[in-house]
Each structure stands twice: as structure tokens, then as C-alpha cells.
Structure 1
Amino acid sequence: MHNVQATKLSRATFMFPLALVLFEFSVYIGNDLVQPAMLAITKEFGVSSAWAPSSMSFYLLGGACVAAILGPLSDRLGRKKVLLGGVAFFTLCCLLILLTNSIESFLTLRFLQGFGLSVISAVGYAAIQETFEERDAIKVMALMANISLLAPLIGPVVGAFLIDHVSWHWGFIGIAFLAFLSGFGLKAKMPTTKQSIPKQPFSYIWDDFKKVFKNKRFLSLTLGLPMVAMPLMLWIALSPVMLVDELGLSSMQYGLAQFPVLGGLILGNIVLLKIIDRLALGRTVLLGLPIMLLGTAIVVVGVMLPQYFIYCVIIGMTMVSFGEGISFSVLYRFALMSSEVSKGTVAAAVSVLMMFSFFVVIELIRMLYEQFHILAYGFSCLALIVLWFSFPRRALMQVLQERREAGEF
């Protein structure tokens, strides 16, 4: 464990998460700017457009593969050292991808760039949760989410512009520059945690992970996270193919279609910030998930009535993203705090489960999409939200009941 005294959110203490969110923005736009360019990239490499979603799934797989190392490593070496090293590695990989000349080498670099996702989730988020008090930590996560959501809003439009007027290569140059800048901010403003974890062999990491994964509540809450986040992830991965390839929208129309959907997520996070101090912690989840369920049902209606699909999918996914906005940060906090093991290790376990889930589901739905098209997309979104109402909801209700009995609101 690190001896970190929780602090209140203020203008001075917010400088660290502001520097972190700049790196988070560069990592996220590393996906959102690239996805609309994937149709041009697959054409340049002479492969099928069915490879387009693989750019995102390999990005997520890269994050999943190193999370188990980065979290415990930051417990022992300090969050700041590992975070700064991750920023430098991500920046380098963004520049190296400019040299690729095949889909295989491109996806290899995408896999390595994905390490940046784990740097944020297994190291950066753990530092946020340790640095700030409970409700302030959730507020910081929601504020960071709103800033980082500029990536999926700006990314598709910028990506479309690059495709039409210059080259996708310039996108990676810009991403590398942003990541490079964030490194300076983190070096100056990130608190250096006092290390108090015993100097034990790294074999103890395995023992820590066993403790985490044997925790049934941790597993239930953590496996619920990708169920909540996956419909929007599928939208980001598949919307270029659905809207451009199938419906014939232009690259710019595709980019503009992202605004209401991702705007719903921003609005959800703003609402969370406004009401979190007025409601029992976790209440927003019980409000958000039914909204998400209704949204996915509207998407399925659009699937069954293809002439209305574009309207139904935008309305439905906007509702889904709004529900996610008022739910996800709270669910993440509950999952992270469901184990007493050092938070770097717990955050790593959360990241591993989430990103492997993302990779498997995106690749599975990608293959189903080749056969069943929008039918696979719509029913998959609905099934994921329906599934959350099983064991993840039961685990959440147990947490809320315990907090109520303990007088925590």
C-alpha cells in the first residue's frame, strides 16, 4: 500500500488530474481519430474493410496484456515513475506506426499503443482514487471523462478531414505531440506517493491477484463494467462500417452523427456531478441502467425497421451513453474498493478483465456482423444490458444495503 492522505478537490489539486486527462485524451483520440480512417487504411494495405474493427480490438488487447504488470509495478516503484514511462512508450509507438506498410505491422503497433490504456486505468485511475476523498474521486473521474470525451467528439471529424485532405499519418503525429506535452504536466504536478509496501519478491504479485480474483463481489462488480460500457464501444468500433459502408453516409456525416451519441455521455457525466452529493452513492446506477435498457430496445426496433434505423440507432445510443455517464464512475469506484489488496493490483485486475472482455466481444461481434450485419449489433447491445441485471445488479444491491446499514450516504 501507499501512504497517501486523501485530499479535497480544489483548483491546486486539480492540476494533476488535468495533466493526466491530457494523456487520457491522447490515448482515447488514438482510437477515435483512427477508426474513421480505417476504411482508407485497409484500402491502402489492400485488405477487406472487415479488418476495420480490429484496429480497436487490438488496441484494447494491448492494454489488457500489460495491466497485470503495470498495476503491481506501480505499487512497488511508485505511480509516478510507471506513469511517466508509459507516456514515453506510447509516444514512441505513435511515431513508429508511421513506418508500417502492411495490416499486420499496423495492428502490431496498435497492440503496443494499447499499453497506454493500462497506464491510465491501472496506474492513473488508482492514483486518483488514492489521492482524493470518495465523492471527490468520483467527481474527478466524471470531470476527466467529460474532458476526454472531446476525443470521440473531435476524433471522427478530424479523422474524416485527414482522409479527405491529407493523410492518416498526420493523426498519429498529433497524438504523439499531445502525449509528449502531458508528460511535462505529470512530471510537475503529479504527487509522489510515499512507498510503504513491503519489499517482497515479485512472486507475491501472483498471491495478490489470487486474493483479488477469489473475491466474488469483485468479480461480479468488475464483470458488470464491460456490460455497461460495451454497447458504446461497439458503436465506436462498428459505426464507420454501419454508417459509411452500409448506409452510404459521407465521412463528414459519419463524424457529425457521433455528436448526439457522445453528447449524451457528456450530459450524463454533468448530471452525475450535479446530483452525486444529493443521493445515496450508487443511486444513479439504479436510474441509469433502465435508461440504457430502453435505449438498446430502441436500437433493436430500428434493426427490425431498417427504414428508421439511422434515427433509432442515434436516439437509442444517445440514451445508452447518457445512462452510462451517470453510472460508470460509481460502478468503477465500487469495483476498485471491493478488495483490500493494494489498489494498483486491484486496478490492474479491473483493467485486465475489462479489456479482455472488450477484445473478445468486439472480435466476436465483428465476426457476427459479417454474417448478420446490423441485426448482430442491435441484439448484442440489448443482450449486454440485460445481462447486467443478473449477478452484477445483485452485487450492487448488496453493496448499497451494507452502506445503508452502516449509515453511509
Structure 2
Amino acid sequence: MLALTSIWTTLLLAAACALGPIAIDMYLPAFPQIGADFGAGADDVQLTLSLYLAGFAVAQLVCGPLADRFGRKPIMVGGFLLFAMASIGCAMASNIESLQLFRFLQALGGSAGPVLGRAVIRDVYTPREAAKILALLASLMAMAPAVAPTLGGFMVSALNWHWIFIAMGTYALVMAGVIAFGIPEPLRRDYRQPLRPASLFGNYRRILGDASFLGYTLTNAAVYGALFAFLSGAAFVLIDVLGVAPEHFGLYFAAMVVGYVAGNLGSIRLARFLVPDQILLYGLIIATASGASMAGFALQGVHNVWAVMLPQSLLMVGTGMILPQTMAGALANFPSMAGSASALFGFIQMATAAAAGALVGQLHDGTPLVMAAIIAGFAALALVFYLFLVQRYPAPGFEAQGANSR
């Protein structure tokens, strides 16, 4: 088996965590075709994404405590197997309602990878080290959203959208085997938590009562809301409104991923000179300005691909700087219950993302304006959470210069 601190283990965790973005991004180019096949509107098709995010959020509240009790590996492997079975159900769906149901079930299994990947990093590394490793992990994971939409677009054009879910299920089966036999169990036995309702609620109450956790988590969730507003609306805006071919959708999507990787790698380099909260602030300024510029273009009636993609790519530079710092900061105070903290963090993150995606689906008006306005609003909200919570209650060692320590 691989050593937990090995770069190969980090690569393996990145591949496991990538199941989340693959399940989201790979089928985005198929939105118009799914709607046409089932006679469903944009709101019903988008609901397959919001239900996935909702299921993903709820499942984390269960799989985190289970992993704190029984260990990370058995919960991850079980989650991947459930994901694979639900993927086959998605591929065989005969109407939009059954696809929505299987997407929800798919999310219940898919939540295990990201939530426990974060927990494993916290198990192995100190909070400051975890911020760097999470940035590296995010950069490696970014290959999934770079490749998945392009692959999905070609599958839609050459085969049909059903094959996208068959590919997802195959990937999950492979990852179940690799996790089972590739790494040792990272959770120390003396850190295992009792699986009693009173204990679980007590842990969650303690975590929610931590102002530092809330600050980093809400900042992260708002940025995720901006990201998922784009993911929910991108296929309809780029393909239906701006005329991008489905097989080219992923190429435009890759420009966004390049921005995200640049932000991740930049945050690793900046960590040599700056503390995490300083990097976080710079990322938030970039994201907020980029979201505002996209909304400004839309308000002026500038409806072309680059008026959407250039601001979104710059927003993703900021996002790449923000997410590793907020993940590590949120988990910093909970080394003995990292699974539960990661689960609650992920629940809030995904619930916010689902709400943002649902807003885009419900309000889409055939122009880029609704999507752009929601992206700008959530990016600005993230900056507000930083200013009023993170600056006042920074994680130990994360403080920006001049910030008040607790």
C-alpha cells in the first residue's frame, strides 16, 4: 500500500474527489438533448443538477460521522459502489422524473469521495500544510472539469447522453477497487467517535458554534454558489443562446478550468510569502470584480461567448485561490472530528450551490443576464462573509496582517 504522505496518495485522493466534478460537469453538454428526448423544459432538466447537489449535501451529514466511527476507507468504497449502481439507473431512465430520482441516489454515493478526501488531508497534515495540499489536490482535480465536458460533448454528438452515465459508473467501480487496495486507513483509532445520536448532534452543535468555522464555510459556500450558477446556466446560455456546438462546449469550459488551476498554483506559490487569509482576500477581490464585469456586460446587452467566458475564467482564478484556504480554515479547529466538520462544511456548501443552480433554472430568460447577475451576487456575498466573519475570527495561524486574533 502507498504511504499516506506520498504524492501518489495525493494523486489517488484527487482521482477519488474528482468523481464529484465528473458527475456534475460531464453531462452538462447533454442538457439540451435530455430536454428534447424527454420533452422537458430547462427548469426540469436543471432540476437533475439541483437534486444531485441536494442529495450530495444531505448525504455528507451521514457519511462524515460514519467515517469518524468506522474509518474513511469502508465509507468511501461503499459510496462509490452506490454511485455506480445509480449511474446505471440514470443511463436506463425512460423519463425526466426517473432521471431526477437516480441522480439523487447517485449523489448519496458520490458524496463520499470529496467529503472524506478533505477529511483524510486533515487526518494526515497540520492546518497550514493542509491548505497547501488542498491547493495541490484542487489543481489535480481540475483536470476532471477540463476533460469531462469535452468528453461528454463528444459522447452526445457521436453516441447519446446515456453513455455519459455508463462512463461515470465505470469510473466509480475502478475507484472503489483502487481505494480498497491502494491506501491504508488514515483515521487513528483514538480519534474514532461514538455513533450515538446525542454524540453526533453534540459534535455538530460544537462545530456550528465555532465562529471561525462559520466564517470560512459561508465564504466558501457563497463562492460555490457563484460557480454553480455558472454550471447550471452555462449549457443553455452557451449552446442555446450563443450558438456553441455541444462538442465544442468543453473547449470553452477548459478556459475556465485553466483559470482555476492558475489560482490554485498561484496560491501555493503565494503561501511562501503570505498567510492563508491574505491569499483568501486577494482571491475574493478578483472573484467579485470578475462577477461584476460579467453582469455589467449582460446589462449592456453584450451577448457573445467572450463576454461570458472571459469574466468567468478570471472569476475562477479567484476561486482557485479561495477554496483551499477556506477548506483548511474551516477544518483547522477539529482534528478529532474532521469527518463531521468536513460533512457539515460540505452540506452548507452544496445546499448553497443547489439554491444558486435552482435560481438560474427558474429565472432563465433566454439571455445571459440572469446567470451573470446571480454569479455577481454570490461572489459579492462571499466578500461580505469574509469581512464580517473571517477577519474577526481567523483560524489559528491564518490571520491576515492587522486582523484581530480570537
Paired letter, 1:44: D
Give the match for residue 370 of structure 2: 376
Is the CA contact 1:59–1:114 (under 8 Å) kept in the aligned structure 2? yes
Of residues 285, 301, 319, the one that matches 1:324 is 319
Give the match for residue 122 of structure 2: 129
Of residues 196, 201, 208, the one that matches 1:213 is 208
What is the CA distance between 1:401 and its match in structure 2? 8.9
Task: Show structure 2 runs of 5+ residues with no match.
Answer: none
What is the CA distance between 1:61 and its match in structure 2? 0.8
Separation of aligned partners in 2, 1:243 and 1:171? 20
Question: Is 1:157 aligned to 2:130, yes or no?
Answer: no
What is the CA distance between 1:11 and its match in structure 2? 9.5
Paired letter, 1:326: M
Of residues 169, 183, 194, the one that matches 2:188 is 194
Give the match for residue 339 of structure 2: 344
Paired letter, 2:369: L
Paired letter, 2:188: K
Cα 1:199/1:285, change in 2 over 3 Å: closer
Paired letter, 1:49: A
- Helix, strand or coil for the counterpart of 2:275? coil
Paired letter, 2:90: I
Give the match for residue 390 of structure 1: 384
Of residues 279, 289, 294, the one that matches 2:289 is 294
Separation of aligned partners in 1, 2:129 and 2:108? 27
Superposition RMSD on alpha carbons, in Å?
Answer: 2.5
Separation of aligned partners in 2, 1:339 and 1:76? 15
What is the CA distance between 1:149 and its match in structure 2? 1.5
What is the CA distance between 1:78 and its match in structure 2? 0.9
Separation of aligned partners in 1, 2:296 and 2:165? 38
Cα 1:398/1:202, change in 2 over 3 Å: same
- Helix, strand or coil for the counterpart of 1:306? coil
Of residues 43, 63, 70, the one that matches 1:70 is 63
Percent identical residues: 23
Question: Is 1:357 aligned to 2:341, yes or no?
Answer: no
Separation of aligned partners in 1, 2:281 and 2:355? 27
Separation of aligned partners in 1, 2:28 and 2:57? 19
Is the CA contact 1:36–1:160 (under 8 Å) kept in the aligned structure 2? yes
Separation of aligned partners in 2, 1:399 and 1:277? 23
Q: TM-score, normalised by structure 1?
A: 0.90
Separation of aligned partners in 2, 1:139 and 1:116? 27
Task: Show structure 1 runs of 5+ residues with no match.
Answer: 1-8
Is the CA contact 2:329–2:395 (under 8 Å) kept in the aligned structure 1? no
Question: Is 1:168 aligned to 2:136, yes or no?
Answer: no
Is the CA contact 2:68–2:193 (under 8 Å) kept in the aligned structure 1? no
Separation of aligned partners in 2, 1:162 and 1:294? 35
- Helix, strand or coil for the counterpart of 2:117? helix
Paired letter, 1:392: Y
1:378-399 superposed Cα distances (whole Å, 9 cap, x missing partner)? 2211211222232332322234
- Helix, strand or coil for the counterpart of 2:276? coil
Of residues 249, 257, 260, the one that matches 1:262 is 257
Paired letter, 1:335: A
1:322-373 superposed Cα distances (whole Å, 9 cap, x missing partner)? 0010121011111122457611111111111111111122112321224x74
Cα 1:204/1:402, change in 2 over 3 Å: closer
Q: How many residues align?
A: 399
What is the CA distance between 1:10 and its match in structure 2? 8.4
